[in-house]
Amino acid sequence: MRHSAVWAALAGLAGLLGGCSQQIDFQGIIATAKGKVYPSLVFVKPIREMFQSGERTRAEVFGSGVIISSDGYVVTNNHVAEKAIEINCVLGDREQVPATVVGLDPETDLALLKLRLPEGHPPLPVASFGDSDKVQPGQFVMALGSPFGFTRSISLGIISNTQRYLGFETSHQYNLWLQTDAAINPGNSGGPLVDTRGQIIGINTLGTWADGIGFAIPSNVVEDVVARLIEQAGKTSEDRWPVKVARAHVGLQLQALRDFNTNTFTDAQRGVLVQSVDQDSPADQAGIRGGDILLAVGALPLDGLYVEDLPRIRLILADLPTDRPCRFLVARGKGPATQPSQPARLADGSAPRPGDVGGRAIQELTLVPVARGKFEGEDLDCRRWNMTLKEITKFSNPELYFLQPGGGVFIQGVREEGNAADAGLAPGDIILKIGPHPVKTIADAKKAYEALTGDKARTDKRVLVTIKRGAFQHWKTLSWHKDYLQED
């Protein structure tokens, strides 16, 4: 029904323009645009290692991608390629080619693959990027991909919004999304969103349960991440792929000065509100506090009046050089303003004034960003215990990291019928100790598991496990006399 309406609108517009000296051929425009990208469309088939319900399994999933270089670089989504132990790609001529994961960026949900082409393979068809900053609401677009595994599918629609903020604070935190009513379904992930010039203006990423609402990562974000991954991969041996995008960490959670969804309003006209500061982070050590207003870093203003401004500011902070002092201009409280050594200039060329921030005192603080740690922790399959463990990181498990500062290990999944479930262990429990073995890292957990269940382990198949559940510690007796997996 939606596509019928689209074509009716196109036909009507063509009719209105019929009196012009040249009638517009919309079908021809769409066909020409499709022809520029369609040959480079890829059906991505990863075999993924999965940890769920307390077990490690393997499953073939599917997604989409697009070839961006004649030597075989393919862009797709991180959630398509992550944890893949094998990837095969089906090209436009139905040739199946194995691929290597070159780089992953979970924070933007982008991944870069490299097709392992046989020697002498002819050059591949390549799609080109457009400028997503020039995309306008109402513009016609096509979403290409393999929805539900149906390869080489196209849906037509328009751009509904060019700066959609979805409120992600961990993954996708640097993204403002292109919203479209072109159908984006499971399997479309990683495929290109294409304009009527046949250029990639986005990478399809998120669909919703609602009809006509889907989201794509803007092409300018994609190009930047791809360039970084290619550069990093060029400095890294292939046996250490996939590489990650290097980013800085300052330890700040930010909030817009005006947020109509949460009825947040401040009297400041410039800057961005500090919502909270991570303990012992560079921002904490620099003296930045929750409730402060950040006005600038270096000479670069930080204007976060609305929530749509937050991804850009987060990216500015993430791109700061690590282990080098950076000047932050901060407003707090009331009182006389200090004179910064080199006042940051606002858009109008003037320096920030107390009147811009509700009369707050303006001061300069020095912060030294550090390298951002791993986004997602490692997994461990405790097969005999019928549970899987995962490393806690501040970026993918902030709630658990708050309970266990510095990180640790938590129970990712528990088999419904198994030894861990019999012991009363549950997903989300933080492991503090396994028998005599303290557990602070996933390596500690692996060492304890192997010591207790390996060939040289004691005959008593029982151990006391110390966990943290919420704010409280618990002790659980874990026994593995029964082999549930053998019974299956």
What confidence tens digit (pLDDT) does each residue in 17-70 have? 444 546 778 899 999 999 999 999 999 999 988 777 777 788 889 999 999 999
Residue 484: predicted pLDDT:
81
**367 pLDDT higher than 80:** yes
How far apart (Å, rounded) are the C-alpha atoms in residues 170 and 166?
12
pLDDT of residue 90: 97
- 249-371 is classed CATH 2.30.42.10: yes
- Per-residue 3-state assignment (H helix, E strand, C coil) for 209-278: CCCCCEEEEEHHHHHHHHHHHHHHHHCCCHHHCCEECCCEECCEEEECCEECCCCEECCCCCCEEEEEEC
State pLDDT tens for residues 438-474: 999 999 999 999 999 987 776 788 999 999 999 899 9
What pLDDT score does 266 carry? 86
- Return the number of other C-beta atoms located less than 10 Å from residue 25's C-beta: 11
pLDDT of 344 over the 70 cut: no
CA–CA gap between residue 67 and residue 228 (Å, rounded): 17
pLDDT at 209: 74
Beta pairing class for 140-145 and 379-382:
unpaired
pLDDT confidence tier of residue 369, bands split at 50, 70 and 90:
very high
Confidence of residue 271 (pLDDT cuts 50, 70, 90): very high
Please report, for the chain, the start and end positions of each structural domain, with discontinuous segments joined by +: 2-7+127-222, 249-371, 379-487
Rounded alpha-carbon distances, angstroms, from residue 275 to 257, 289, 482: 10, 9, 49
Give Cα 22 distance to the centre of its chain: 46
Give the per-residue pLDDT at 356. 82
SS3 content of the chain, % helix, strand, coil (to 5): 25, 35, 40
- CATH fold label, 2-7+127-222: Thrombin, subunit H (2.40.10)
CATH superfamily of domain region 379-487: PDZ domain (2.30.42.10)
> Is 249-371's fold the same as 379-487's?
yes
pLDDT in the model for residue 29: 92
The average confidence (pLDDT) of the chain is 88
pLDDT at 346: 55
Three-state SS at 321: coil
**By C-alpha distance, which of 315, 347, 351, 352 is closest to 331?**
352
pLDDT recorded at residue 332: 92
Within 347-441, residue ranges assigned H as helices are 398-403, 419-422
What are residue 129's phi and psi, to 5 degrees?
-90, 145
Please choose, from the candidates 410, 388, 416, the residue with its C-alpha nearest in 3D space to the C-alpha of residue 398: 410
How does residue 171 score in pLDDT terms, banded at 50, 70 and 90?
Answer: low
| Helical ranges in 358-441 per DSSP H | 398-403, 419-422
Q: Are 347 and 301 in contact (CB under 8 A)?
A: yes
The predicted structure's pLDDT at residue 343: 52
Report the Cα–Cα distance between both ends of the chain, in Å, rounded: 48
What is the reported pLDDT for 12?
47
Instruction: Write the single-letter amino acid at 215.
Output: F
| Confidence check: pLDDT of 211 > 70 | yes
| Residue 412: other Cβ atoms inside 10 A | 21
Percentage of the chain lying above the pLDDT 70 cut: 90
Angle at 391 between CA 390 and CA 394, to 5 degrees: 130
Give the three-class secondary structure for 149.
Answer: helix
**pLDDT at position 9 over 60:** no
Q: What is the pLDDT of residue 456?
A: 72
pLDDT band at 350 (very low <50, low <70, confident <90, very high): low
CA–CA gap between residue 203 and residue 152 (Å, rounded): 15
pLDDT of residue 57: 81
pLDDT at 401: 83
Report the DSSP pairing between strands 472-479 and 361-367.
Answer: unpaired
CA 15 distance to own-chain centroid: 44
pLDDT in tens, 287-329: 999 999 999 998 888 999 999 999 999 999 999 999 999 999 9
Q: Could you give the residue numbers annotated as active site?
A: 79, 109, 189
